[in-house]
Amino acid sequence: MSNKKFKRFINDNPTILRLMHLMGFKLGFGDMTVEEVCAANGVSPELFSTICDIYTQENPQIDMESLRTSDIPVLLSFLRTSHCDYIQNSFKMLHDGVHRMAEHCSAENSAIVNRFFDEYDAEMKRHISFEEDVVFRYVEDLLDGKHDSCLSVGMISEMHSNVDEKIDDFKNIVMTYLPPSSTSTEMYQVLIRILQIQEAMRRHTKVEEKLLLPLAELLEQEGGEQGGILSNREKEIITQVAKGLTNKEIADKLNISIFTVTTHRKNITQKLGIKTIAGLTVYALMNGFLKQEDIKL
């Protein structure tokens, strides 16, 4: 995809235009390739391609090994801009449509419909505030080398609530149980907007859960360390490699993902310039990470 002309890429995937807007891409890219446009906008082609796949494919194949913790700031900016767009545009238009629809209902049903939707609207804004004030701030602290010992990516994942159930109930009520009014146009408009928001939020959540949090977890396990010195986790990885464990065995033993192990190994190679297991074993021995009797011959 990187060498494909960007204008052709958009023509083949019209949904990409919205993603470009949310990621702050500038227009006027002429005959540039996807890779050139990404470089001009400070976004890695791998990250852009992955986000595009999440928003355009039902079951995208996510290659986490192609991404880096350096992609996190772009991800955060994209997610924050998406939040603003939901609040200022999508939710506002749905809110206006619901109240117009309610005008065609009886006074009692109108009050019920408005109250139910307003509760959802408030819940959604609380959810977004949690992501902005807790999740994103925690990840930014990790980028700055600060680690709040009272919080972790695992805890955040457990606290990440599902806000889709309430709007799904509202959609079903409007579609199947709300008495028909003198006109159904407003009802159809509301249902269409609900479906659009549900789909957008589903993809948005997937970006958070499949990209942001795994990358943040990697940063967390590195202890926020950046630069040439090995983190404690990287020293653990070298030790296990020297002992002859496979990536899967290391992942199981340290209770981390295989993606995290392979990414650590890539970072170790970049920092030390040592590519072979034999070389890493010698390094581990020389630096006292393990003793010769710990190594399987």
Position 224 scores a pLDDT of 44
Position 43 scores a pLDDT of 94
Q: What's the whole-number mean pLDDT along residues 257-271? A: 83
The residues facing 33 across adjacent strands are 5
Host H or E run for residue 278: helix 277-286
User: With the C-alpha atoms ordered 151, 152, 154, 160, is the resulting torsion angle positive or negative?
Assistant: positive
- Going by pLDDT thresholds of 50, 70 and 90, the confidence category of residue 20 is very high
For the stretch 198-247, pLDDT in tens is 999 999 999 999 999 999 988 887 664 444 467 778 888 999 999 889 99
Q: What's the whole-number mean pLDDT along residues 288-293? A: 82
Whether residue 264 has pLDDT greater than 60: yes
Q: Among all chains, which residue has been given the structure tokens 């609207």?
A: 121
- Burial of residue 156 (CB within 10 Å: 0-12, 13-18, 19+) is buried
- Burial of residue 182 (CB within 10 Å: 0-12, 13-18, 19+) is exposed
Q: Give the contacts of 63 (CB within 8 A, at least 6 positions apart).
A: 46, 50
Contact 81, 24 (CB under 8 A): yes
Position 71 scores a pLDDT of 93
Instruction: Count helices and strands (H / E) in the chain.
Output: 16, 0
Whether residue 297 has pLDDT greater than 60: no
Position 76 scores a pLDDT of 96
For the stretch 83-129, pLDDT in tens is 999 999 999 999 999 988 888 888 888 898 899 999 989 989 999 99
For the stretch 116-164, pLDDT in tens is 999 989 989 999 999 999 999 999 988 887 777 677 888 888 777 777 7
The secondary structure of 146-175 as a DSSP string is ---TT--HHHHHHH----HHHHHHHHHIII
